Structure 1
Amino acid sequence: MIPTRMLLRRMSNNVRHQSILSQRAEVQQEEPIRIIRTTEDNPQKHNRDHLNRFYTIPQNAVSQVMPRTSMPRRLHIQIKTFREACIMVREPAIELISYLEQTDYSKPPNKYVLYGPVGSGKTLTLMHLLHYGYVTEKILIRLSKNYVWNTREQNAAGTPLQEMIDFGIGRGKYTCDVINALLQELKAASTAGNCNTLVLLDGVNAFFGEDTLVKDSTFKPLYAQRVSLTQSFLDFIKYDWCNGAIIATVDSLAVKRDNQFDSTYPRFLLGKLGFEHLDPFLPIEVPNYSEDEFDAAIEYLKDRMWIRNLTEAGKRELELLSNRNPYKLMRLTAARTMSPSLVTKRLVSHPLSFENPIWIIASTAF
């Protein structure tokens, strides 16, 4: 027999324990739960309801949407570290998607130019649009005429476009000619209504720069206008075709010159020649993170267990040091082993590392 006094003591302890658990549960329920992800991974269905949220690119599409040779090196490292490719749904991408959905493709292609501070996310916005083009139906084009490369090698009319691409990859001597022929075939197919072509160019102002990495026989850098591929791409973004759209970015890092960081506006970065070639176009600014976007980025890093035990003071310090710039925030959170003074000194003395401009072309049939 258990004494009555001991039985009552056990009952009171159980009641006290249950009350403590219930209080903890109430506290946990009162804590706000921030939603930083969206389950909608189809960019065609993205709208303003998905703003400031991350969506995950399906694993089978990552290599197509984010090819290793066309993304910043640090972004590639981040994707490998987090084992997922996530993009924040931001206002510029939503705005562009809405324009593309409402475009009259029977007219010459509309041109859109993304601009903004270095590291604000222009390339990632372009990749968001690249994924938008990828999720639509793919094109299947056959050559409209014979392409004779030499006495023994040619691509006859009616053969698949892939055969000519494989030939250009295997024979470096004819690569420029193959690319030029490929662009002409895409323009012809779009004008004929066989496909809808979405052209994406990252760092388009590099086409109008004063020097390139290409050198002549005397090892002097060539002007961009003297490179054959430059003319092929400049012809491709003219208004002499229809059933397509052109989205480009201008970047201070695409062209190296003394005053390259003086302005981020398209008129300054493109110069007179580049501005006249693209005009008319619709400029769309890609700014630094807003307050909500910055909070979402911090929550994503917490979700991936990349930063832990971050206080409000530490979060405020990150906000001030990065000025809500996505690239600087990535650098700051990646440099966990550095002292704050060293990180600040490095960001001030060397704001950003130079990345080579990239050109991405995605052709899809909507």
Structure 2
Amino acid sequence: MLTSSLKSLANKIYFSRFSTLAVESIATLDDFRTNESHTSNHTEQHLGRFYTISAEEKKKLFGNGGFPKSFEKQTKTFAETTFMIRQPALEIIEYIKRTNFNNPVIRYVLYGENGVGKSITLAHMIHYGYQNDFVLIHIPWVPNWFKRPKEIANSDKEGFVDLPFDAAAWLVHFKLQNTDLLNKLNLKTSKDYVWSKRETTPAGSTLLQLVEHGINRIKFSTGTIEALISELKQQATDNKCKVMVCIDGYNAFFHSKTRVVSDTKAKMTPNKITITQPFLNITNFDWKNGVCVLVVDKIALTEDRMESHLPKYLLGMNGFEHLDPFIPIKVAKYDDKEFENCINYYLNRKWIQNVEKGFDAELKFLSGQNPYKLMNLCAPL
């Protein structure tokens, strides 16, 4: 009898303790997460909290790139994709909500030190554009084209080179992100596009048919991008669609050095690579009904030592004049609330397991509240 009573008491204590921990866990969960997954509803009350995007949305929007490798690896480890709602994204969202789209397109430039979360802020904006029916023109990382080109081919334009496989891969990315919306909008080409004596995309073809041609005929993939960008600029200006341009590593377009070499062994500058011009055209201010969110990054220019993370320095004179006027948006390190929520998230996902009293203060000091450094410091824990 005594043994049975002790077991009963032990069970009551155990389940009572378990219930208390569960309640504490839920309370903690509410502190660093939000169930509000529609980006239009994100406000300052959600600042510092994590929201989750579905596996389907992740595959559609970022299946062909858009996350830093370390973050992509982390999403697999955590078995979910979450973004922290931070001030730079909320600021741009608020600006977009107040934008008069009858005026020339506004360019926003995200900047900041390495590892502070510029790419994830851009990903947040891509998700916003997707949820609000913007046609997305997204380049995950411009330097990939100029440092690790898949193939280099001579262009029909004298003195230029093509990157046909990279261009075709981008068209696949564009199609994956926009198929549903383009089917809904049913946008048509405004003129004939003649590729060769036997190949033509006639006026009145859908934009998806145009994209398919560039994917299937890689030789014409760069020309297809030029045609697609031109059509989208015109259709947006005619109020047939809204367009959001999101480009990471944008300053690489204005760098003087690449690893792209012509058949004469001459190193090509970005302005001599045909894939560059369409994306410079779409980031010009000569169209409306759109928005450009661009990231400048020191890592985009690893050929040289970059002393500053400020836009004017990274863009250089040509890039700065091309974008001027633009709205600079600084992405900073975690503030105290963001740092605390990130630690709680890592604890919740078991990214941090072996902890001692004061571990968070030590991590704050060692990481300097830099998101990337914090993630790496927590990995062995």
Aligned pairs (5 A) from 1:332-343? 332-336=377-381
Aligned to 2:152: none
One-letter amino acid matched to 1:300: Y
Change (3 A) 1:82 1:19: closer
2:104 matched residue in structure 1: 108
Aligned equivalents of 1:111, 1:135: Cα separation in 2: 20
| Aligned position for 1:229 | 275
Which runs of structure 2 are paired with 1:34-49 in the superposition (5 Å)? 34=28, 35-49=31-45
> Any stretches of 5+ residues in structure 2 without a counterpart?
134-180
What is the aligned partner in structure 1 of residue 259 from structure 2?
A: 213
Deviations along 1:192-220, one digit per CA (max 9) or x if unpaired, are: 00001111111110000011232111334
Change (3 A) 1:30 1:154: closer
Alignment of 1:37-76 (within 5 A): 37-76=33-72
What's the counterpart of residue 365 of structure 2? 320
* 1:117 aligned residue: 113
Partners of 1:118 and 1:71 lie apart in 2 by: 14
Alignment partner of 1:188: what SS?
A: helix
Shift of 1:23: 9.2
- Change in CA separation of 1:25 and 1:247 when aligned onto 2, cut-off 3 Å: closer
Deviations 1:129-182 (CA, angstroms, capped at 9, x unpaired): 000011123243111111010011111111111111111112221111100100
Return closer, same or farther for 1:196/1:18 CA change in 2, 3 Å cut-off.
closer
Residues 251-260 or 295-304, more deviating: 251-260
Distance 1:93 1:231 in 2: 28
| TM-score, with structure 1 as normaliser | 0.83
Of 163, 178, 196 in structure 1, the residue corresponding to residue 209 of structure 2 is: 163
Per-residue Cα deviation, 1:4-53 (whole angstroms, up to 9, x for no partner)? xx99xx99x89998997899699869969332110011111111111111
* 1:84 paired residue number: 80
The code of the aligned residue for 1:330 comes to: M
In the aligned structure 2, how far is the partner of 1:15 from the partner of 1:21? 10
- Tell me the secondary structure at the aligned position of residue 145 of structure 1: coil
Q: Residue in 1 aligned with 2:163?
A: none
1:304 to 349, 359, 362: 349
Corresponding residue SS for 2:65: helix
Percent identity over the alignment?
A: 39
Query: Does residue 1:133 correspond to 2:129, yes or no?
Result: yes
Structure 1 residue 283 and structure 2 residue 328: aligned?
yes
Task: Say how many residue pairs are matched.
Answer: 328
Contact 2:37 2:53 in 1 (8 A): yes
**Counterpart amino acid of residue 222 in structure 1:** M
Among 172, 184, 188, the alignment partner of 1:142 is: 188
Q: Aligned partners of 1:237, 1:290: CA distance in 2, in Å?
A: 32
- The Cα shift of 1:112 comes to 0.5
1:113 maps to a residue whose letter is V
CA-atom RMSD in angstroms: 2.6
Distance 1:45 1:270, change over 3 A: same
Any idea what the Cα deviations from partners look like across 1:94-143, whole Å, max 9, x if unmatched? 11101111100000001110000111100000000000011123243111
SS of equivalent residue, structure 1 residue 71: coil
Q: Secondary structure at the match of 1:114?
A: strand
Is the contact made by 1:56 and 1:85 (CA closer than 8 Å) also made in structure 2?
yes
Q: Is the 8 A contact 2:244 2:291 kept in 1?
A: yes
Larger Rg: 1
